[in-house]
């Protein structure tokens, strides 16, 4: 069994990591156009994504390392301003070691994922033996807390779909 298959074993049964609590019926939904590190941490925790918060060394922007099931990932907050910094863009990403050189079939799998998925974007990291998937949440212009919650909860599904695509199409050589 290849290294990626061992690493990805069990991913097919991996489901959504949870859903944030929704506002009660009739409640006025708060609109967010940026999130602070504390708000990001709370939202990731509510989704069951086990965040470990830190700050970007150069900018001080929030960065989260998290877990969706057995898979590690990062969230980088971008377009930040104010004190405390509030950020308009959240970039989720997870990279996976193939345990071998990248093969032409890996590009086909990545392209197949990108052609078949609405959410998330797969990639091959040139010059490495890694592939990955990312997902962007844009808050600029305002979104409800419920919308943010749904989008954060979707991340676990994006990872699961990516892993499944690689399990289906892993080269046998």
5 in a structural domain: no
109 in a structural domain: yes
pLDDT at 148 over 90: yes
Domain with 120, as residue range(s), is 30-156
Q: d(Cα 121, Cα 162) in Å, to the nearest integer?
A: 9
164 in a structural domain: no
92 in a structural domain: yes
Rounded to the nearest integer, the mean pLDDT of the chain is: 84
As a whole number, mean pLDDT of residues 43-58 equals 94
User: Considering its fold, how many domains does the chain have in total?
Assistant: 1
170 in a structural domain: no
pLDDT at 4 over 60: no
Concatenated DSSP letters of the chain: --HHHHHHTTGGG------PPPPPTTPPPPEES-B-HHHHHHHHHHTT---EEEE-TTT--EEEEEEETTEEEEEEEEEEETTTTEEEEEEEEEEEE-SS---HHHHHHHHHHHHH-SS-EEEEETTTTEEEEEEEEE-TT-EEHHHHHHHHHHHHHHHHHHHHHHHHH----
As a whole number, mean pLDDT of residues 41-67 equals 95
Supply the CATH number for residue 86's domain.
3.30.1460.10
64 in a structural domain: yes
pLDDT of residue 12: 31
146 in a structural domain: yes
pLDDT at 22 over 60: no
Q: State the pTM of this model.
A: 0.80
pLDDT at 173 over 90: no
As a whole number, mean pLDDT of residues 156-173 equals 81
Q: Name the band, by pLDDT with cuts 50, 70 and 90, for residue 114.
A: very high
Looking at the chain, the whole-number percentage of residues with pLDDT higher than 70 is: 81
12 in a structural domain: no
Q: Name the band, by pLDDT with cuts 50, 70 and 90, for residue 27.
A: low
Q: Name the band, by pLDDT with cuts 50, 70 and 90, for residue 164.
A: very high
């Amino acid at each position: 069994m290849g290294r990626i298959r061992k690493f990805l074993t069990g991913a097919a049964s991996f489901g959504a990591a949870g859903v944030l609590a929704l506002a009660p019926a009739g409640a006025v939904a708060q609109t967010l156009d940026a999130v602070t590190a504390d708000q990001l941490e709370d939202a990731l925790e509510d989704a069951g994504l086990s965040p470990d918060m830190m700050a970007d060394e150069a900018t001080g922007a929030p960065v989260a390392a998290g877990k969706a099931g057995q898979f590690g990932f990062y969230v980088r907050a971008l377009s930040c301003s104010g004190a405390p910094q509030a950020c308009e863009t959240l970039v989720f990403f997870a990279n996976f070691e193939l345990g071998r050189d990248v093969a032409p079939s890996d590009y086909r799998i990545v392209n197949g994922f990108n052609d078949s998925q609405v959410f998330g974007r797969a990639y091959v990291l040139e010059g490495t033996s890694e592939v990955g998937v990312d997902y962007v949440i844009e808050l600029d212009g305002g979104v409800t807390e419920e919308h943010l919650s749904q989008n954060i909860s979707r991340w676990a599904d994006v990872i699961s779909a990516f892993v499944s695509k690689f399990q289906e199409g892993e080269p046998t050589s």
